[in-house]
Amino acid sequence: ATAARQSLKIGLIPADGIGKEVIPAAKKVLEAIGSDIPKPEFVPLLAGWEVFQRTGSALPEETVEALKECDGALFGAVSSPTRRVTGYSSPIVALRKELDLYANVRPVVSVAANPGDKPAIDLVVVRENTECLYVKQEQIVSTENGREARATRLITERASRRIGKMAFELALGRPRKQVTIIHKSNVLSLTDGLFRETVRAVPRLAEVNGRYDSVKIEEQIVDSAVYRLFREPQIYDVMVAPNLYGDILSDAAAALVGSLGLVPSVNASDKFVMGEPVHGSAPDIEGKGIANPLAAIRSSALMLRFLGYPAPADRIDRAVDQVIREGEVLTPDLGGKSSTQDVLDAVLKKL
């Protein structure tokens, strides 16, 4: 990430449900950063279930084209129809494809009891986002014993290498500098074997030129990784995994720090980064003004980090931590009585 920019163009895609409540809050926080970043220009864009119902497209072409002109974006959440609807598919999945956002990065951090203390949990899950079982090549075959369902699992050297590089690059910027490769190569020796071997080889690549020599490499079989994640989450720093394991691990890790309303993520390529709170559209609380905006606010900080602005990202994260630690202004998912607006105001005041 480089920060030599004159301007900062950010696409805003609130999409559905509480996305429309938390993305405006994140926008306010970015506006409050001041001169640490170029004055952001925001581009409001459409996607999701509501726009699908109106126009027949969940991801209008204009949205994709406009995003290609942006430095980054913030995405809210999409509602999914309860039944399968012809022509509808997730705009997030489509965006990952269109913009080749090959990495899903999810930091999971607990709030320390006192300012200056180390958080008990401070890890980041780096999930490969384009292949594995999610290439969706499934088929049903009729056999004499009934139907048989088969799925293809694709692991490539190219995708494993670039996700590996992203993991090492992130580790380099963290105090512990440790990458744990998550796999199951004891059983799936070819697919998981290739992932493990390729990520392990990243520090030895000629073009890397010793850059990652200070990073410690660990590895863990996925099932024991989950077990240890629940027993001793503090042992992890950067966890890197193929798509399916990463999907499961990142939700499991999010559960360790409480509400879904707290956990940020980004979808990233080498050229573009899109922040996205981990939670969904939360139809049960939509329109009540009580959605927790902190995951979206943290996602905006994470986006800034990827764009090359670590200092303002730290400021936002510290402001959020303070609000949580003080515990006076919290939304109901964290046991409080405050509104989305109250929490936003509290964060802005700390900033």
Q: Which of 15, 52, 71, 79 binds ligand ATP (CB under 6 A)?
A: 79
Q: Is the dihedral of CA 235, 207, 309, 98 positive or negative?
A: negative
Measured N-to-C along each axis, helices 294-306 and 340-350 cross at an angle, to the nearest 10 degrees, of 40
Could you tell me which of 301, 203, 241 has the C-alpha nearest to residue 104? 241
Q: Give the shortest CB-161-to-ligand ATP separation in angstroms.
A: 32
**CA–CA separation, 138 and 153 (whole Å):** 10
51 binds ligand ATP (CB under 6 A): no
Among 280, 310, 332, 336, binds Mg ion (CB under 5 A): 280
Q: Does 341 bind ligand ATP (CB under 6 A)?
A: no
**With CB under 5 A as the contact rule, which of the stretches 60-68, 111-119, 190-198, 277-285 interacts with Mg ion?**
277-285
CA-to-CA distance for 125 and 221, rounded, in angstroms? Answer: 15
Q: Which stretch binds Mg ion (CB under 5 A): 75-83, 139-147, 176-184, 273-281?
A: 273-281
Give me the least distance between CB of 290 and ligand ATP, in Å please: 7
- 12 is a site residue for ligand ATP (CB under 6 A): no
251 is catalytic: yes
Shorter beta-carbon distance to ligand ATP: residue 17 or 203:
17
Mask of contacts with ligand ATP, 289-308, x by CB under 6 A? --xx--x-------------
Residue of 100, 251, 345, 350 marked catalytic: 251
Which listed range, 120-128, 190-198, 233-241, 280-288, lies at the site for Mg ion (CB under 5 A)?
Answer: 280-288
Cβ-in-10-Å burial (0-12, 13-18, 19+) of 141 comes to exposed
Question: Quick one: 171 or 249, whose CB is closer to ligand ATP?
Answer: 249
Q: Which of 247, 321, 333, 342 is catalytic?
A: 247
3-state secondary structure of 99: coil
Which residue's CB comes closest to ligand ATP? Answer: 280
Question: Is the separation of the CB atoms in 110 and 323 below 8 Å?
Answer: no
Sign of CA dihedral 222, 223, 227, 228: negative
Of 220 and 299, nearer to Mg ion (C-beta) is 299
Closest CA to 58 of 66, 50, 69: 50
The helix/strand/coil state of 4 is coil
Give the pair of three-digit tokens for residue 213: 């020599």
The span from the CA of 93 to the CA of 116, in Å, is: 39
Nearer to Mg ion, 193 or 280 (CB): 280
- Of ligand ATP, Mg ion, none, which one sits near residue 281, judging by CB under 5 to 8 A according to partner kind? ligand ATP
The window from 28-36, 274-282, 307-315, 333-341 that contacts Mg ion (CB under 5 A) reads: 274-282
Residue number, 112 or 260, with CB nearest to Mg ion: 260
To the query of whether residue 100 is one of the catalytic residues in this protein, the response is no
> Considering only CA atoms, which of 245, 253, 212, 266 is closest in space to residue 102?
266
Select which of 223, 227, 314, 337 is catalytic.
223
Beta strands in the chain (DSSP E): 8-15, 40-44, 72-77, 103-109, 122-128, 138-143, 146-151, 178-183, 216-221, 238-241, 266-268, 273-275
Q: How far is the CB of 77 from Mg ion (least distance, A)?
A: 8
- Which residue number, 280 or 310, has a Cβ lying nearer to Mg ion? 280
Q: Is 48 in the site for ligand ATP (CB under 6 A)?
A: no
Kind of pairing between the strands at 40-44 and 216-221: unpaired
Residues 6+ positions from 180 with CB-CB distance below 8 Å: 218, 219, 220, 225, 236, 237, 238, 239, 240
Q: How many residues bind Mg ion (CB under 5 A)?
A: 1
Q: 3-state DSSP call for residue 274?
A: strand
Contacting positions for ligand ATP (CB under 6 A): 18, 77, 79-80, 260-261, 279-285, 291-292, 295, 331, 333
Contacting positions for Mg ion (CB under 5 A): 280
* Residue positions annotated with a catalytic role: 134, 184, 223, 247, 251
